[in-house]
Amino acid sequence: MTSRTPHILYRYRSFDLQTINSLCHDVLFFAHPSSFNDPLDCNPTIRSDSSLGTLRELFKHLLERRVAAETTNSFQEAQIRGKSAESYALNHAAKTAKQKLDEIAYNATDPEYEVSEEEAEMSLLTHQIREELLRHYERGVCCFSTVFNSALLWSHYGDEHRGICIGYDLKRIPRPTLHQVVYGGDRTIWTSALDAAFLQKDLRAIEAVDRDVLLRKAPGWRYEREWRLIGSKGVQDSCLRLSDVTFGLRCPEAVKHSVIRALDGREEVSFYEIYEQECTFRLSRRMVQIDELQSWFPRTARSGAEIFSEDITSQE
């Protein structure tokens, strides 16, 4: 069951150049799923429950769509536009799809296959459909949690409690579109579902395929309470509003000072620090005493002789 969209989202980070850059420039990094620590994330299995004809049409549609888009993008980069360019892209895509289908049909006749030619072709097509599906969903993903005090998240993503947890709210125009991760189920997507989504263009089927490719994870990850933004790969301007920064239990005071000073002038940003609840394993947070912290930094190192000389001078 889908939960109500949270008001605040949290992103656990190490304190490094990329993190301070994202805070100062108000950007987010959308990672390719291949870089995720879970190799099964965004990596579905495709199984066939369709006829050979449907598999051919499905593969043809996915391949033509990709090739036409890539050709059009190449033309646009070369500042080539117009109906002739569009027509060439479509014709090139259709020709490429026909050649690939002929190649698959020919490979299915290999006598080393221990199944019929039709079964071999269906197996080859199912594999190629999976490859095209993953290319279709080559998008960037930015991951968030709904909690700021998870000891596991601090350990796994917050540099073992030495980092920070950045809070974002949705007070932006337009309001950002968030997607809740679904835990459990399996990684299977049937070709009949792809048929309904891509050939029949059924909206519910499209939503289900999007979910099963981009949002389904193993139940062991449930502790992350994850929501995602889906967008272009790489660094993007943030569509969320920075609301607060929480410093980890082991976060050095100098890091706290550096982050607070880096965000000096940014309106309505609150700063917290994690503390342990005595006699429990729970973590809580409290406001950082900024005035006290800034009275310590920046520190100027002085030798004993310099301090002694200064004291004598002040007494003269």
CB atoms within 10 A of CB 315: 6
In angstroms, the Cα distances linking 238 to 36, 88, 156, 262, 291 are 20, 37, 23, 17, 29
State the first-to-last Cα distance of the chain, in angstroms, to the nearest integer: 77
pLDDT grade, residue 316 (50/70/90)? low
pLDDT of 308 higher than 80: no
Q: How far apart are CA 33 and CA 141, in angstroms?
A: 7
Clarify whether residues 22 and 155 are in a common domain. yes
Clarify whether residues 20 and 163 are in a common domain. yes
Clarify whether residues 272 and 259 are in a common domain. yes
Clarify whether residues 49 and 148 are in a common domain. no
**The pLDDT of residue 299:** 81
Question: Domain ends where: 103, 136, 169?
Answer: 136
pLDDT of 261 higher than 90: yes
Clarify whether residues 88 and 197 are in a common domain. no
Residue partners of 289: CB distance under 8 A and separation at least 6: none
Clarify whether residues 201 and 283 are in a common domain. yes
Clarify whether residues 73 and 101 are in a common domain. yes
Mean pLDDT of the chain: 93
The pTM of this model reads 0.86
**59-63, 64-68, 75-79, 170-174: the lowest-pLDDT one:** 75-79
> b/e string for 132-166 if b means 16 or more Cβ within 10 A?
bbbebbeebbbbbbbbbbbbebbeebbbebbbbbb
Q: How far apart are CA 154 and CA 162, in angstroms?
A: 8
The model's pLDDT over 79-102, given as tens digits with 9 standing for 90+, comes to: 888 888 889 999 999 999 999 999
Clarify whether residues 60 and 148 are in a common domain. no
Question: Domain ends where: 108, 136, 164?
Answer: 136
The model's pLDDT over 207-235, given as tens digits with 9 standing for 90+, comes to: 999 999 999 999 999 999 999 999 999 99
Clarify whether residues 53 and 156 are in a common domain. no
CB atoms within 10 A of CB 226: 20
Residue 305 lies in a domain: no
pLDDT of 1 higher than 50: no
Clarify whether residues 187 and 276 are in a common domain. yes
Clarify whether residues 104 and 195 are in a common domain. no
Q: How far apart are CA 194 and CA 267, in angstroms?
A: 46
Q: How far apart are CA 198 and CA 62, in angstroms?
A: 8
Structural domains of the chain, count: 2
Domain that holds residue 287: 8-40+139-293
Clarify whether residues 28 and 143 are in a common domain. yes
